[in-house]
Amino acid sequence: MRKFGVSVIPKSSKRAMEWLSDSEAKVWVNAAPEKGKANKEVRRVIAEHLNVKPSRVRIVSGETSSKKIVEVDV
């Protein structure tokens, strides 16, 4: 299990993830932060980056914030 902080940039033209440190990452998503669309895409981007299934990525806190704590079952 790996837990880290994520800063999310919604409505971005790019879809990417970048590590800022061992415990902090920045994620850019195309989706708008409405009705959980951005959170769903955040989970997908992190899963792709870490080579796991999106179901193994869980947002622990920050569902409605741009700063989130994410837990990944690797």
The answer to the question of residue 21 being in a domain is yes
Q: Does 68 reside within a domain?
A: no
Amino acid, res. 2: R
pTM beyond cutoff 0.85: yes
Q: Which two tokens stand for residue 3?
A: 């837990």
Pairing of strands 2-9, 16-21: unpaired
Q: Tell me if 16 is assigned to some domain.
A: yes
pLDDT for 74 equals: 81
What is the edge-to-edge ordering of all strands in the sheet holding 57-61? 16-21, 24-28, 2-9, 67-72, 57-61
pLDDT of residue 61: 97
The mean pLDDT values, 10 residues at a time, for the chain of 74 residues are: 96 97 97 95 97 97 96 92
User: CA 32 to CA 49: how far, in whole Å?
Assistant: 20
Per the structure, the complete domain to which residue 41 belongs is given by: 2-60
